[in-house]
Amino acid sequence: MFHRVSKLSLVLLLLSGCQQSDEMSASQVVATVNGEQLTMPQLQAEMTKLSASTKNADTAKKVLTNLIDRQLLAQEAVKLNLDRTPEVTQAIESSKAQIYAQAYMAKKMAKLPEISDEAASEFLKAHPEMFEQRKLFKTVDVTFTHDPAQLDIKAMEQAVTTLSSLEDTLHAKNIVYDKNSSQFLTDRLPLSILSKVSHLHQGDLMYVHNDHEVIVKSIQDIIDVPTSMSSALLVAKKMLGQQQKQAYIKKEIERLQNLAGIQVFNEKIDSQYH
Could you read off the pLDDT of 61-96 as tens digits, one per residue? 999 999 999 999 999 999 999 989 999 999 999 999
Q: How far is CA 65 from the centre of its chain?
A: 28
Task: Give the Cβ contact number of residue 123 at 10 Å.
Answer: 20
Residues 146 and 201 both lie in one domain: yes
Confidence of residue 4 (pLDDT cuts 50, 70, 90): very low
Q: What's the half-sphere exposure (Cβ side, CA atoms, 13 Å) at 166?
A: 26
- Return the closest-CA partner of residue 14 out of 86, 80, 87, 68: 68
Task: Report residue 102: phi and psi, to 5°.
Answer: -65, -40
Residues 90 and 161 both lie in one domain: no
Please say which residue of 102, 119, 153 terminates a domain: 102
Residues 148 and 220 both lie in one domain: yes
Is 266 inside a domain boundary? no
Is 123 inside a domain boundary? no
Residues 80 and 19 both lie in one domain: yes
Q: What's the half-sphere exposure (Cβ side, CA atoms, 13 Å) at 268?
A: 3
Residues 199 and 139 both lie in one domain: yes
Residues 165 and 81 both lie in one domain: no
Residues 81 and 141 both lie in one domain: no
Residues 145 and 190 both lie in one domain: yes
Count of structural domains within the chain: 2
pLDDT tens digits for range 202-247: 999 999 988 899 999 999 999 999 999 999 999 999 999 999 999 9
Q: Report the C-alpha dihedral over residues 24, 25, 26, 30, rounded to 10 degrees.
A: -70
Window from 125-134, 161-170, 215-224 with minimum mean pLDDT? 125-134
90: domain range?
A: 2-102
